[in-house]
Chains A and B, each alone.
Chain A
Protein backbone atom coordinates (compact mmCIF):
# COMPACT_ATOMS: atom_id res chain seq x y z
CA UNK A 1 0.00 0.00 0.00
CA UNK A 2 1.18 3.49 -0.78
CA UNK A 3 2.39 5.57 2.20
CA UNK A 4 -0.12 8.33 1.62
CA UNK A 5 -3.00 5.87 1.70
CA UNK A 6 -1.68 4.42 4.95
CA UNK A 7 -1.54 7.89 6.52
CA UNK A 8 -5.03 8.68 5.23
CA UNK A 9 -6.44 5.51 6.79
CA UNK A 10 -4.62 6.26 10.07
CA UNK A 11 -5.98 9.82 10.20
CA UNK A 12 -9.55 8.78 9.43
CA UNK A 13 -9.28 6.05 12.09
CA UNK A 14 -8.13 8.55 14.72
CA UNK A 15 -10.90 10.90 13.62
CA UNK A 16 -13.55 8.20 14.08
CA UNK A 17 -12.20 7.33 17.53
CA UNK A 18 -12.28 10.99 18.60
CA UNK A 19 -15.78 11.42 17.18
CA UNK A 20 -16.95 8.45 19.25
CA UNK A 21 -15.40 9.64 22.53
CA UNK A 22 -18.30 9.68 24.96
CA UNK A 23 -18.25 13.20 26.40
CA UNK A 24 -17.16 16.73 25.75
CA UNK A 25 -13.87 16.55 27.56
CA UNK A 26 -13.37 20.27 27.67
CA UNK A 27 -16.11 20.75 30.29
CA UNK A 28 -14.83 18.36 32.91
CA UNK A 29 -13.50 19.11 36.39
CA UNK A 30 -9.76 19.37 36.39
CA UNK A 31 -9.14 18.71 40.06
CA UNK A 32 -9.70 15.27 41.48
CA UNK A 33 -12.33 15.13 44.21
CA UNK A 34 -9.83 14.56 47.01
CA UNK A 35 -7.70 17.52 45.87
CA UNK A 36 -10.79 19.71 45.79
CA UNK A 37 -11.82 18.51 49.24
CA UNK A 38 -8.43 19.23 50.76
CA UNK A 39 -8.51 22.72 49.27
CA UNK A 40 -12.02 23.41 50.46
CA UNK A 41 -11.44 22.50 54.10
CA UNK A 42 -8.62 25.00 54.48
CA UNK A 43 -9.61 28.27 56.10
CA UNK A 44 -7.55 30.37 53.73
CA UNK A 45 -10.33 30.44 51.16
CA UNK A 46 -12.35 32.81 53.35
CA UNK A 47 -11.81 36.53 53.53
CA UNK A 48 -13.56 38.55 56.23
CA UNK A 49 -15.70 41.55 55.31
CA UNK A 50 -13.08 43.76 56.96
CA UNK A 51 -10.38 42.40 54.66
CA UNK A 52 -12.62 42.96 51.65
CA UNK A 53 -13.45 46.47 52.82
CA UNK A 54 -9.76 47.22 53.12
CA UNK A 55 -9.04 45.96 49.58
CA UNK A 56 -11.94 48.03 48.31
CA UNK A 57 -10.68 51.17 50.08
CA UNK A 58 -7.22 50.67 48.62
CA UNK A 59 -8.76 50.07 45.18
CA UNK A 60 -6.54 47.01 44.98
CA UNK A 61 -6.28 46.17 41.28
CA UNK A 62 -5.28 42.55 41.93
CA UNK A 63 -8.72 41.87 43.33
CA UNK A 64 -11.95 41.17 41.49
CA UNK A 65 -15.13 41.10 43.54
CA UNK A 66 -17.81 38.92 41.97
CA UNK A 67 -21.44 39.41 42.96
CA UNK A 68 -23.37 36.18 42.41
CA UNK A 69 -26.85 37.57 43.03
CA UNK A 70 -29.37 38.29 40.27
CA UNK A 71 -28.93 41.31 38.01
CA UNK A 72 -31.85 43.10 39.70
CA UNK A 73 -30.42 42.68 43.19
CA UNK A 74 -27.01 43.73 41.92
CA UNK A 75 -28.46 46.94 40.51
CA UNK A 76 -30.11 47.77 43.80
CA UNK A 77 -26.85 47.72 45.70
CA UNK A 78 -23.43 46.12 45.50
CA UNK A 79 -19.94 46.53 46.81
CA UNK A 80 -18.11 49.13 44.69
CA UNK A 81 -15.75 47.56 42.20
CA UNK A 82 -17.61 44.29 41.93
CA UNK A 83 -19.01 42.81 38.75
CA UNK A 84 -22.22 40.85 38.49
CA UNK A 85 -22.07 37.20 37.46
CA UNK A 86 -25.43 35.70 38.46
CA UNK A 87 -24.88 32.20 39.78
CA UNK A 88 -27.02 30.65 37.01
CA UNK A 89 -24.79 32.30 34.44
CA UNK A 90 -21.51 31.17 35.99
CA UNK A 91 -20.52 28.78 33.20
CA UNK A 92 -21.25 31.22 30.39
CA UNK A 93 -18.08 31.40 28.24
CA UNK A 94 -18.13 35.19 28.36
CA UNK A 95 -16.84 35.10 31.97
CA UNK A 96 -13.88 32.94 30.96
CA UNK A 97 -11.73 36.06 30.77
CA UNK A 98 -12.62 37.09 34.30
CA UNK A 99 -11.93 33.69 35.84
CA UNK A 100 -8.93 32.83 33.76
CA UNK A 101 -6.50 35.17 35.51
CA UNK A 102 -4.43 33.42 38.07
CA UNK A 103 -2.85 36.60 39.44
CA UNK A 104 -6.19 38.26 40.22
CA UNK A 105 -7.92 37.30 43.45
CA UNK A 106 -11.51 36.47 42.63
CA UNK A 107 -13.73 37.02 45.66
CA UNK A 108 -17.23 35.58 45.45
CA UNK A 109 -20.13 36.87 47.47
CA UNK A 110 -23.88 36.34 47.57
CA UNK A 111 -26.39 37.18 50.26
CA UNK A 112 -25.01 34.50 52.53
CA UNK A 113 -22.29 31.89 52.16
CA UNK A 114 -24.08 29.25 50.14
CA UNK A 115 -23.99 30.43 46.52
CA UNK A 116 -20.46 31.74 47.03
CA UNK A 117 -19.35 28.30 48.22
CA UNK A 118 -20.96 26.63 45.21
CA UNK A 119 -19.31 29.09 42.85
CA UNK A 120 -15.95 28.64 44.59
CA UNK A 121 -16.21 24.86 44.21
CA UNK A 122 -17.07 25.05 40.52
CA UNK A 123 -14.42 27.64 39.65
CA UNK A 124 -11.70 25.83 41.61
CA UNK A 125 -12.74 22.45 40.27
CA UNK A 126 -12.51 23.71 36.72
CA UNK A 127 -8.90 24.60 37.40
CA UNK A 128 -9.06 28.35 37.97
CA UNK A 129 -6.70 29.62 40.62
CA UNK A 130 -6.95 32.21 43.37
CA UNK A 131 -10.63 32.00 44.32
CA UNK A 132 -11.98 33.27 47.63
CA UNK A 133 -15.26 33.63 49.47
CA UNK A 134 -16.32 36.70 51.40
CA UNK A 135 -17.33 35.11 54.69
CA UNK A 136 -20.95 35.79 55.53
CA UNK A 137 -21.77 37.47 52.23
CA UNK A 138 -23.66 40.74 51.99
CA UNK A 139 -25.63 40.02 55.17
CA UNK A 140 -22.39 40.08 57.13
CA UNK A 141 -21.26 43.15 55.19
CA UNK A 142 -24.34 45.07 56.26
CA UNK A 143 -24.08 43.93 59.85
CA UNK A 144 -20.38 44.64 60.23
CA UNK A 145 -19.52 47.41 57.82
CA UNK A 146 -22.70 49.37 57.28
CA UNK A 147 -24.10 49.30 60.80
CA UNK A 148 -20.86 49.49 62.74
CA UNK A 149 -20.94 52.07 65.45
CA UNK A 150 -18.63 53.02 68.18
CA UNK A 151 -20.07 53.48 71.60
CA UNK A 152 -17.88 53.97 74.60
CA UNK A 153 -15.41 56.27 76.23
CA UNK A 154 -12.01 55.27 74.92
CA UNK A 155 -10.93 53.83 71.58
CA UNK A 156 -7.77 51.78 71.16
CA UNK A 157 -5.59 52.37 68.06
CA UNK A 158 -6.56 48.97 66.67
CA UNK A 159 -10.26 49.61 67.12
CA UNK A 160 -9.79 53.01 65.56
CA UNK A 161 -8.10 51.53 62.48
CA UNK A 162 -10.85 48.97 62.05
CA UNK A 163 -13.54 51.56 62.52
CA UNK A 164 -11.94 53.97 60.04
CA UNK A 165 -11.64 51.21 57.47
CA UNK A 166 -15.32 50.34 57.88
CA UNK A 167 -16.31 53.98 57.81
CA UNK A 168 -14.47 54.61 54.50
CA UNK A 169 -15.96 51.47 52.98
CA UNK A 170 -19.41 52.51 54.10
CA UNK A 171 -18.99 55.97 52.56
CA UNK A 172 -17.83 54.54 49.19
CA UNK A 173 -20.63 52.00 49.24
CA UNK A 174 -23.28 54.64 49.85
CA UNK A 175 -21.81 57.02 47.28
CA UNK A 176 -21.61 54.50 44.46
CA UNK A 177 -25.00 52.96 45.17
CA UNK A 178 -26.74 56.31 45.24
CA UNK A 179 -25.54 57.19 41.74
CA UNK A 180 -28.30 57.38 39.12
CA UNK A 181 -28.80 54.09 37.27
CA UNK A 182 -27.40 55.35 33.95
CA UNK A 183 -24.08 56.38 35.52
CA UNK A 184 -23.87 53.15 37.51
CA UNK A 185 -24.35 51.12 34.34
CA UNK A 186 -21.47 52.89 32.65
CA UNK A 187 -19.25 52.52 35.70
CA UNK A 188 -19.72 48.76 35.81
CA UNK A 189 -19.38 48.34 32.08
CA UNK A 190 -15.97 49.95 32.26
CA UNK A 191 -15.04 47.71 35.15
CA UNK A 192 -15.59 44.42 33.33
CA UNK A 193 -12.20 42.91 32.51
CA UNK A 194 -12.00 41.80 28.93
CA UNK A 195 -9.04 39.49 29.20
CA UNK A 196 -9.98 37.56 26.07
CA UNK A 197 -9.83 40.72 24.02
CA UNK A 198 -6.66 41.96 25.70
CA UNK A 199 -4.69 38.76 25.41
CA UNK A 200 -4.65 38.64 21.63
CA UNK A 201 -3.41 35.84 19.44
CA UNK A 202 -0.87 35.87 16.68
CA UNK A 203 -0.39 34.04 13.45
Chain B
Protein backbone atom coordinates (compact mmCIF):
# COMPACT_ATOMS: atom_id res chain seq x y z
CA UNK B 1 0.00 0.00 0.00
CA UNK B 2 2.63 2.51 0.98
CA UNK B 3 4.72 4.51 0.33
CA UNK B 4 1.87 6.23 -1.48
CA UNK B 5 4.03 8.48 -3.62
CA UNK B 6 5.82 5.51 -5.22
CA UNK B 7 3.29 2.71 -5.38
CA UNK B 8 0.12 4.55 -6.26
CA UNK B 9 -0.09 6.07 -9.70
CA UNK B 10 -1.18 9.41 -8.29
CA UNK B 11 -0.45 12.46 -10.41
CA UNK B 12 2.45 14.61 -9.32
CA UNK B 13 0.24 17.47 -8.09
CA UNK B 14 -1.48 15.18 -5.56
CA UNK B 15 1.91 14.18 -4.18
CA UNK B 16 2.77 17.85 -3.88
CA UNK B 17 -0.60 18.51 -2.25
CA UNK B 18 0.20 15.84 0.37
CA UNK B 19 3.54 17.53 0.98
CA UNK B 20 1.79 20.89 1.30
CA UNK B 21 -0.76 19.64 3.85
CA UNK B 22 1.89 17.76 5.88
CA UNK B 23 4.14 20.83 5.72
CA UNK B 24 1.39 23.10 7.04
CA UNK B 25 0.72 20.62 9.85
CA UNK B 26 4.41 20.40 10.68
CA UNK B 27 4.84 24.17 10.75
CA UNK B 28 1.71 24.60 12.84
CA UNK B 29 2.90 22.05 15.42
CA UNK B 30 6.33 23.65 15.58
CA UNK B 31 4.80 27.04 16.21
CA UNK B 32 2.39 25.62 18.81
CA UNK B 33 5.30 23.93 20.62
CA UNK B 34 6.97 27.31 20.96
CA UNK B 35 9.69 26.54 18.44
CA UNK B 36 9.30 29.92 16.79
CA UNK B 37 11.12 31.39 19.78
CA UNK B 38 14.87 31.51 19.40
CA UNK B 39 15.20 31.57 23.19
CA UNK B 40 13.48 28.21 23.46
CA UNK B 41 15.74 26.73 20.78
CA UNK B 42 18.93 28.21 22.22
CA UNK B 43 17.86 26.71 25.56
CA UNK B 44 18.94 23.35 24.21
CA UNK B 45 22.51 24.62 23.90
CA UNK B 46 22.63 26.21 27.34
CA UNK B 47 20.68 23.42 28.99
CA UNK B 48 17.83 25.44 30.53
CA UNK B 49 15.18 24.21 28.06
CA UNK B 50 15.47 20.81 26.40
CA UNK B 51 12.11 20.78 24.60
CA UNK B 52 13.90 20.50 21.23
CA UNK B 53 15.57 17.27 22.23
CA UNK B 54 12.38 15.81 23.62
CA UNK B 55 10.23 16.76 20.63
CA UNK B 56 12.60 15.53 17.95
CA UNK B 57 13.59 12.35 19.75
CA UNK B 58 9.92 11.57 20.39
CA UNK B 59 9.20 12.14 16.70
CA UNK B 60 12.07 9.81 15.78
CA UNK B 61 10.98 6.92 17.98
CA UNK B 62 7.30 7.27 17.10
CA UNK B 63 8.13 7.28 13.38
CA UNK B 64 10.54 4.37 13.77
CA UNK B 65 8.16 2.19 15.78
CA UNK B 66 5.19 3.22 13.63
CA UNK B 67 6.83 2.49 10.31
CA UNK B 68 7.96 -0.95 11.51
CA UNK B 69 4.50 -1.85 12.74
CA UNK B 70 2.96 -0.66 9.46
CA UNK B 71 5.47 -2.74 7.54
CA UNK B 72 4.72 -5.75 9.74
CA UNK B 73 1.04 -5.47 8.89
CA UNK B 74 1.88 -5.13 5.20
CA UNK B 75 0.78 -1.52 4.89
CA UNK B 76 4.18 -0.03 4.12
CA UNK B 77 7.07 -1.42 2.11
CA UNK B 78 10.16 -0.20 3.93
CA UNK B 79 12.39 -1.33 1.06
CA UNK B 80 10.89 1.41 -1.07
CA UNK B 81 11.35 4.15 1.50
CA UNK B 82 14.09 6.54 0.53
CA UNK B 83 17.23 6.31 2.68
CA UNK B 84 19.38 9.41 2.66
CA UNK B 85 22.79 8.66 1.19
CA UNK B 86 25.54 9.23 3.72
CA UNK B 87 28.55 11.36 2.82
CA UNK B 88 30.68 11.24 5.94
CA UNK B 89 32.76 14.39 5.31
CA UNK B 90 29.75 16.47 4.35
CA UNK B 91 27.81 15.19 7.34
CA UNK B 92 30.54 16.21 9.80
CA UNK B 93 31.41 19.55 8.18
CA UNK B 94 27.80 20.41 7.46
CA UNK B 95 26.85 19.45 11.01
CA UNK B 96 29.41 21.83 12.47
CA UNK B 97 28.38 24.72 10.19
CA UNK B 98 24.69 24.08 10.80
CA UNK B 99 25.23 23.82 14.57
CA UNK B 100 27.19 27.08 14.64
CA UNK B 101 24.50 28.81 12.59
CA UNK B 102 21.81 27.35 14.83
CA UNK B 103 23.27 28.75 18.05
CA UNK B 104 24.21 32.11 16.50
CA UNK B 105 20.87 32.64 14.79
CA UNK B 106 18.70 30.84 17.29
CA UNK B 107 16.79 28.89 14.65
CA UNK B 108 17.17 25.82 12.50
CA UNK B 109 15.95 26.18 8.90
CA UNK B 110 12.47 24.81 9.61
CA UNK B 111 11.80 26.80 12.75
CA UNK B 112 13.31 29.86 11.04
CA UNK B 113 10.55 29.75 8.42
CA UNK B 114 8.05 29.07 11.19
CA UNK B 115 9.10 32.23 13.02
CA UNK B 116 9.22 34.17 9.77
CA UNK B 117 5.61 33.29 9.10
CA UNK B 118 4.51 34.91 12.36
CA UNK B 119 6.49 38.02 11.44
CA UNK B 120 9.61 37.86 13.56
CA UNK B 121 12.24 40.23 12.19
CA UNK B 122 15.26 38.23 13.37
CA UNK B 123 13.87 35.19 11.54
CA UNK B 124 13.57 37.21 8.31
CA UNK B 125 17.27 38.07 8.52
CA UNK B 126 18.07 34.48 9.48
CA UNK B 127 16.23 33.02 6.48
CA UNK B 128 17.81 35.61 4.16
CA UNK B 129 21.19 34.51 5.53
CA UNK B 130 20.25 30.92 4.84
CA UNK B 131 19.44 31.73 1.22
CA UNK B 132 22.68 33.65 0.87
CA UNK B 133 24.57 30.66 2.27
CA UNK B 134 22.85 28.34 -0.20
CA UNK B 135 23.78 30.72 -3.03
CA UNK B 136 27.37 30.86 -1.84
CA UNK B 137 27.52 27.08 -1.62
CA UNK B 138 26.15 26.68 -5.13
CA UNK B 139 28.63 29.21 -6.54
CA UNK B 140 31.65 27.67 -4.82
CA UNK B 141 30.49 24.08 -5.32
CA UNK B 142 33.18 23.19 -7.91
CA UNK B 143 35.88 24.08 -5.36
CA UNK B 144 34.40 22.11 -2.45
CA UNK B 145 33.05 19.24 -4.53
CA UNK B 146 35.90 16.85 -3.76
CA UNK B 147 35.60 17.46 -0.01
CA UNK B 148 31.82 17.23 -0.09
CA UNK B 149 31.70 13.99 -2.08
CA UNK B 150 34.51 12.24 -0.20
CA UNK B 151 33.90 9.22 2.03
CA UNK B 152 30.63 8.28 0.39
CA UNK B 153 29.06 5.47 2.42
CA UNK B 154 25.90 4.92 0.36
CA UNK B 155 22.37 4.75 1.76
CA UNK B 156 23.54 3.46 5.11
CA UNK B 157 21.39 2.22 7.96
CA UNK B 158 22.58 2.11 11.55
CA UNK B 159 20.91 -1.25 12.28
CA UNK B 160 22.81 -2.87 9.39
CA UNK B 161 26.02 -1.20 10.53
CA UNK B 162 25.55 -2.50 14.10
CA UNK B 163 24.56 -5.91 12.76
CA UNK B 164 21.25 -6.05 14.65
CA UNK B 165 17.73 -6.40 13.31
CA UNK B 166 15.71 -3.20 12.75
CA UNK B 167 13.41 -4.24 15.60
CA UNK B 168 16.23 -4.55 18.13
CA UNK B 169 17.60 -1.21 16.99
CA UNK B 170 14.17 0.36 17.57
CA UNK B 171 14.16 -0.93 21.13
CA UNK B 172 17.70 0.34 21.72
CA UNK B 173 16.77 3.79 20.41
CA UNK B 174 13.67 3.94 22.61
CA UNK B 175 15.79 3.09 25.66
CA UNK B 176 18.39 5.68 24.62
CA UNK B 177 15.66 8.29 24.18
CA UNK B 178 14.16 7.65 27.63
CA UNK B 179 17.64 7.87 29.17
CA UNK B 180 18.28 11.18 27.38
CA UNK B 181 14.90 12.58 28.48
CA UNK B 182 15.83 11.81 32.06
CA UNK B 183 19.26 13.45 31.69
CA UNK B 184 17.64 16.43 29.97
CA UNK B 185 15.32 16.98 32.91
CA UNK B 186 18.31 16.89 35.27
CA UNK B 187 20.03 19.51 33.09
CA UNK B 188 16.93 21.69 33.10
CA UNK B 189 16.94 21.70 36.91
CA UNK B 190 20.65 22.47 37.05
CA UNK B 191 20.64 25.34 34.51
CA UNK B 192 17.13 26.60 35.16
CA UNK B 193 16.19 30.17 34.19
CA UNK B 194 12.99 32.17 34.75
CA UNK B 195 10.00 30.86 32.79
CA UNK B 196 9.56 32.57 29.41
CA UNK B 197 6.31 30.94 28.31
CA UNK B 198 4.28 34.10 28.91
CA UNK B 199 6.40 36.34 26.66
CA UNK B 200 6.64 33.95 23.71
Contacts and interface: CB of A to CB of B under 8 A. Distances in A.
Q: Do A and B come from one complex?
A: yes
Nearest to A14: B65
B61 A20 contact: no
A174 interface: no
Interface of A is mostly: helix
Given A11-B178, A25-B72, 5 more contacts: A18-B68, A93-B155, A100-B6, A126-B79, A203-B110
Interface in A11-34: 11-12, 14-16, 18-21, 24-27, 30
Nearest to A27: B79
Which of B69, B79, B80, B155 has the most chain A CB atoms inside 10 A of its CB?
B79
Nearest to B66: A14
Q: How large is the interface on A (under 10, 10 to 19, 20 to 34, 35 or more residues)?
A: 20 to 34
Interface residues of B, number: 34
Given A25-B78, A26-B71, A18 B155 contact: no
A196 interface: yes
A19 B168 contact: yes
A105 to B, nearest CB: 15
B7 interface: yes
Contacts of A24: 165-166
Contacts of B9: 102
A94 interface: yes
Given A25-B78, A126-B79, A197-B85, A18 B109 contact: no
Nearest to A13: B174
Interface of B: 6-7, 9, 61, 65, 68-69, 71-72, 74, 77-80, 82-85, 109-110, 154-155, 165-168, 170-171, 173-175, 177-178, 181
Contact of A26 (B79, B109, B155, B171): B79
A127 B85 contact: no
A53 B6 CA distance: 29
Nearest to A201: B84
